[in-house]
Structure 1
Amino acid sequence: MTADALSHGAGRGTATDVDSLPEDSPFGADTVATAREIIARYPQSRSALLPLLHLVQSVQGYVSQHGIAFCANQLELSTAEVSAVATFYTMYKRKPCGEHLVSVCTNTLCAALGGDAIYDKLRTHLGSEDKPLGHEETSGTPGEQGSITLEHAECLAACDFAPVLQVNYEYYDNQTTESAVDLVDALRRGEKPAPTRGAPLTDFRGVEYQLAAGFDTAAEAVGGPSASAATLRGAQLANERGWTAPAMPDNVDLPPAPEKK
């Protein structure tokens, strides 16, 4: 593909069908058809950008310049607009991911309970003592069976089961350095250990397609509850005991908002 075909930086793309895609495009008729189905869900086509970025990741395992151009053309946006979104969110990867994405929570509570130790252990276990694996680096050949991309993640919203990690966004709770090593070793052998809760484990590209295609398409793949008994216990106690939050008084005089300068 030429530099001009990939850039569209100054102008906007024009919605393309499969016949007008460049010869070296990794996106075929199936991807174009899925993109059109996704776009049709939204009153404004540009609102489909986030799922379309997941869609291109499901094909390539990351968001490449080809993926940027594909999204721009399908949504009639500039590649600058698409790139601004793709580089803002950490869930969109700018280099190829492994078969599995392992995310270790290193935020406050997980870190204090062992998350930092787990991340450090996996860095050397998947790399070496002399050359530990870095953030968003991959052990093995990206995309091939047994390859693993490691990242440290901010809060994974599972403090009640800290320390936690995720594989392709599925939860593995109450981890230790030993259990985390056992988990990644199983992934490298081609196994798919069951998550603590949530859907059965798939690979990174598979879950990216589920995120792109939406809940209707992914419903059959989601085979378990994501909420845990411990997480819901407070709400259950409140319901059993009739606890409610104080009602907001009527006709509350709110202070005026400051004028913008």
Structure 2
Amino acid sequence: MVARRLADESVQPAAFAFTAENAKWAEWKIGLYPTGRQQSAVIPLLMRAQEQDGWVTRATIEKVADMLGMAYIRVLEVATFYTQFQLQPVGTKAHVQVCGTTPCMLRGAGELIEVCKSKIHHDPHHLNDDGTLSWEEVECAGACVNAPMVAIFQDTYEDLTPARLEEIIDAFHAGKGDTIKPGTQIERLNSAAEGGRTTLLEKPTAKREKFVPPPPPVDAAAPAAPAPAAAAPQAPTTAAKPKDVSEESAPALKGTPKQAKVSEAKAEGERKAADAEAIDSGKKAKAKSAAEKGAVAPLFKAPKGAPDDLKLISGVAPVLEGRLNAIGITQWSQVAKLSAEDIAKVEDSLSFKGRVARDNWLQQAEALAKGGVEEYRKVFGKDPR
């Protein structure tokens, strides 16, 4: 493990403070954890601070520790253990992380490192002349199939050549990094084969005909079955009716044995059909009873207009959205205005005690009702979809 230490005091700022938006987000994030477990938010808070200022300073560590009631040394341990945290200033426009693990190194990562040395600074973790660029070598970044690759902030750029990396660095230096498409930089689909698909190339065949087995082969050597002998004529007689057959069923047994078998089969089929109908009716009645038992009575008057997508609220899945609609909650503004008494009714009706507060439904719904997905992204720093 490489020893990781904070940057020199000469570059450390005197203080750190979250922006108003990030402070609101941090308060919400801490509130997601149970009482006594708020210190679990240390990594998310450090990451948000790094996204705000570019790196983690001594003042950042002390601020986060104070917010979570932790000793400074405990937050320092986290920041110095995880290499995702930058402990010294990085380029304001790009910090290039070159993957130097075996697959990338075999595919030319060494040449990419030389590009960084010539375009940015000879040594890693040093800024270029105007402080806009920096670089470092990192362990596997998880794109081995598309080696070699680099990561710049939250995006990866794969299948690189030294010339292409120079173009990318120049674009970021000029403030045009958003014009570079992340991912593979060659003609391939994500991580598919470079030369295109090599399997599953056949077009779907037409619908198969139903297989009909051939008739069994006839053995020519087998002796032919003897022809049935002609029945001797008999004088017409009246068959005696079986003692255990009632008058009502007696006609079904009259006639030849073949006719009797057909009648019996027909009667058996009718009995089976009746049994199946009875079973089906029982299942339908049972399903209807269960549906009536699980039905939720409306508790609120649904407002006019198209319903909102309640699934954008974290913690609301499709099934729960349907149950909320059933009790009359169809729009974000309704959720945002739920009183404590309303919340108790909702949770009691849908049997999910504590869900509203735990997942912070009210604040999420308020942001969505105010400005939809864009407002949600501003408040919570992520896309709700």
Q: Report if TM-score (shorter chain) is over 0.5.
A: yes
Aligned to 2:164: 179
Which of 137, 141, 155 pairs up with 2:126?
A: 137
- Kept after mapping to 1: 8 A contact 2:17/2:63: no
Alignment: residue pair count = 176
Q: Tell me whether 1:41 sits opposite 2:35 in the alignment.
A: no
Aligned to 1:107: 101
Aligned to 2:360: none
Between the aligned partners of 1:171 and 1:24, the Cα distance in structure 2 is 32
- Residue identity over aligned pairs, in percent, reads 26
Query: What code does the residue aligned with 2:183 have?
Result: R
Which of 64, 72, 90 pairs up with 1:71?
A: 64
Give structure 2 stretches of 5+ with no counterpart.
Answer: 1-13, 201-385
User: How far did 1:30 drift?
Assistant: 3.4
Greater RCO (CA < 8 Å, at least 6 residues apart): 1
User: How far did 1:141 drift?
Assistant: 4.0
Aligned to 2:134: 149
Do the aligned partners of residues 73 and 108 (structure 1) sit closer, same or farther apart at CA in structure 2, a change above 3 Å counting? same
Do the aligned partners of residues 117 and 86 (structure 1) sit closer, same or farther apart at CA in structure 2, a change above 3 Å counting? same
Between the aligned partners of 1:74 and 1:32, the Cα distance in structure 2 is 10
- Kept after mapping to 2: 8 A contact 1:63/1:93: yes
- Kept after mapping to 2: 8 A contact 1:171/1:195: no
Between the aligned partners of 2:16 and 2:153, the Cα distance in structure 1 is 26
Deviates more, 1:79-88 or 1:168-177: 168-177
Task: Provide Cα deviations, 1:171-218, integer angstroms capped at 9, x if missing partner.
Answer: 1111011111111011111111333339xxxxxxxxxxxxxxxxxxxx
Q: Which runs of 4+ in 1 moved over 6 A?
A: none
Do the aligned partners of residues 24 and 177 (structure 1) sit closer, same or farther apart at CA in structure 2, a change above 3 Å counting? closer
CA RMSD of aligned residues (A): 2.6
For residue 137 of structure 1, give the secondary structure of its aligned residue in structure 2: coil
TM-score by structure 1 length? 0.61
For residue 155 of structure 1, give the secondary structure of its aligned residue in structure 2: coil
Between the aligned partners of 1:57 and 1:66, the Cα distance in structure 2 is 12
Between the aligned partners of 2:77 and 2:126, the Cα distance in structure 1 is 22
User: How far did 1:230 drift?
Assistant: 2.1
Query: What code does the residue aligned with 2:120 have?
Result: L
Which of 26, 46, 57 pairs up with 1:53?
A: 46
User: How far did 1:63 drift?
Assistant: 0.8
Between the aligned partners of 2:45 and 2:182, the Cα distance in structure 1 is 29
TM-score by structure 2 length? 0.42
Give structure 1 stretches of 5+ with no counterpart.
Answer: 1-22, 199-226, 238-261
User: How far did 1:139 drift?
Assistant: 1.6
For residue 42 of structure 1, give the secondary structure of its aligned residue in structure 2: coil
User: Which structure has the larger Rg?
Assistant: 2
